[in-house]
Amino acid sequence: MRPARILRAGYMEAVIALVRAGLGLTVTTRTSAAPFLAAGGLRVLPLTANGEFLTWFAHYRSTRVRDAAPRVVAEALAQVVRERNA
């Protein structure tokens, strides 16, 4: 089942405001929604019984410079994820 209309509001604050106004729903991480839950008016449901886990990818422009900033950031994030999952 697909929604009749999809709106990408961009900023999480805008997305949450639309949800609170009853104009739709959002799919996001619990961590992203956490700061907005204390104010009330939201309900959080997992997508599956155990939650839904995503595989994330970093895309960056190929370059010959080994220490290009996007590559360094992507590699650092990958290391953090590996350490958390160890």
10 with 41, same domain: the answer is yes
For range 20-47, the mean pLDDT: 84
Closest CA to 16 of 1, 36, 34, 2: 36
pLDDT digits (tens, 9 = 90+) for 26-39: 888 878 888 888 88
Is the per-residue pLDDT at 1 higher than 70? no
DSSP 81: H
Whether 59 and 21 map to the same domain: the answer is: no
Q: Give the 3-state secondary structure of 47-70.
A: CCCCCCCCCCCCCCCCCCCCCCHH
Say whether both 45 and 78 belong to one domain.
Answer: no
Q: Are residues 42 and 66 in the same domain?
A: no
Instruction: Work out how many domains the chain is built from and give that number.
Output: 2
Which residue range(s) make up the domain with 64? 55-86
Judge if pTM exceeds 0.75: no
Query: In this structure, are 22 and 62 located in the same domain?
Result: no
